[in-house]
Structure 1
Amino acid sequence: MARLHVLSIWQSLSGDGALLREWCRIGTAGQRKIGSHSNESGAAEAIEA
């Protein structure tokens, strides 16, 4: 079964870092989860963990 996983780092309007996680089976509607962090480096550490 083919799946798609995407992790990306965004800067929120308040200047905090946000980690956006998206996943789905290819060809279907996916799910998203946004985790907030104090800065972008904190979001980058979360990706590595």
Structure 2
Amino acid sequence: MRTALVIGTGLIGTSAALALASRGVAVHLADHDPEQARTAAALGAGTDEAPAG
């Protein structure tokens, strides 16, 4: 499975993450504001948990 790390979960980062996730990419979200990353994850943009490895 392909994976991606999106740094920044504002409008552009979340939009990019949603596009990747809709194509089957496992997306990890990172943001300086953990609440914003959780919000993006709740929208289905990926996971706000740290990637393994």
TM-based fold match above 0.5: no
Q: Which has the higher helix share?
A: 2
Give the TM-score, by structure 1 length. 0.26
Q: Which has the higher strand share?
A: 1
For the pair shown, which has the larger CA radius of gyration, 1 or 2? 1
